[in-house]
Copies of this chain bind each other. A is one copy, B any other.
Amino acid sequence: MTMDLPDLPDLLAARRTLAGVVARTPVLRSDILDERAGARLFFKAEGLQLTGSFKVRGAYNKIRSLSAAELAPGLITVSAGNAALGAAWAARAVGARLVVVMPENAVPEKLAAVAALGARIEKDGVINATQAFERLARLREEHGYTLVHPFDDPFVIAGAGTAAWELLEEVPDLEALAVPTSGGGLLAGALLATRGLAPRAEVYGVQPEGADGLVRSLAAGVPTAPERVHSVADGLTAPKPGVLNFELIRRHAAGVVTVPDAAILDAMALIIRHLRVIVEPAGAAGLAGALADERFRDRRVGVLLSGSNTGTERVRDVLVAG
């Protein structure tokens, strides 16, 4: 099978495309969290990115790669929220129309923010990922929309990789990375970035126990979804990794750590308390993984805080519990 796998030059091209367009997010530190983890942690705060997550990097890189003929019929994507927000921002930036297929039960703040960016939302009757992808296929057939895939695309992966690239520019001697993953865009992108800047660093994906499509895929040798996906981390509920993502991960990732939802919520509270930034549950999964797994102990670890789009009720709840 030949695949158009993205590589280092694609990431470098994405960096040029994104320069001056997206934010260079800060790298945060906390002695208290280091002590908790028994490791030295460097947090890349992509929750402070435009649209509140890293997703805008890949979406903008993809949409800017499209020809006038591809932009003309309008664009379409599918997402529980962050990819939709990133694509909506990027589509508005280039003046393209965008349709987003989202689940009816998406986080209300995410639905409202996507609509506010001018995208048209298709959600009636869409409950799960299978229905979402079916709706997407039908709409593409009817209207000829150009697909902006939320993760399974070389431009999207290369764009996502610029987040880990910036982290490695600032902290070149990282020994391991902990990357929240479901579709695999951020993780595959981080693998490209380490290839360029830290070839010896081990890159680990982190998944919720209830959304462990990558673990199953690695066991099966092909992208494989669990029967049921359920996690508090709505941003990590793509049922299985993309084809390109899986191939890069299969070849280069050091492993995948799974964490229960309770550990994700604990990590969320720790991040808000000690790093002073809001994260959504998906954004806290990397820390949950770094705290849970012995392979991060005594090492210099990059932790990707992937996004911050969550309701304030959730923030209050974790601060009460934590």
Contacts of A45 in B (CB 8 A): 26, 48
A13 touches B (CB below 8 Å): no
Q: Which of A157-165, A244-252, A272-280 contacts B (4 or more CB under 8 A)?
A: A272-280
State how many angstroms separate the Cβ of A256 from the closest Cβ of chain B.
27
Copies per complex?
2
A312 on the B face (CB < 8 A): yes
Residues 239-278 of A, flagged 1 when their CB comes within 8 A of B and 0 if not, give 0000000000000000000000000000000001101111
- Asked, given contacts A28-B48, A276-B48, A277-B48, whether A312 binds B319 with beta carbons under 8 Å apart, the answer is yes
Question: A315 contacts B319, CB within 8 Å?
Answer: yes
| Distance in angstroms between the alpha carbons of A45 and B319 in the assembled complex | 22
Residues of B within 8 A of A308 (CB): 276
Interchain CA distance A45-B26 in the complex, whole Å: 10
Q: For the complex, what is the distance from the CA of A192 to the CA of B299, rounded to whole Å?
A: 42
Contact A276-B26, Cβ < 8 Å, known A316-B316, A316-B320, A319-B316: no
- Ranked nearest first, the 5 interchain pairs of A and B with the lowest CB-CB distance are A276-B308, A276-B278, A312-B319, A26-B26, A316-B316
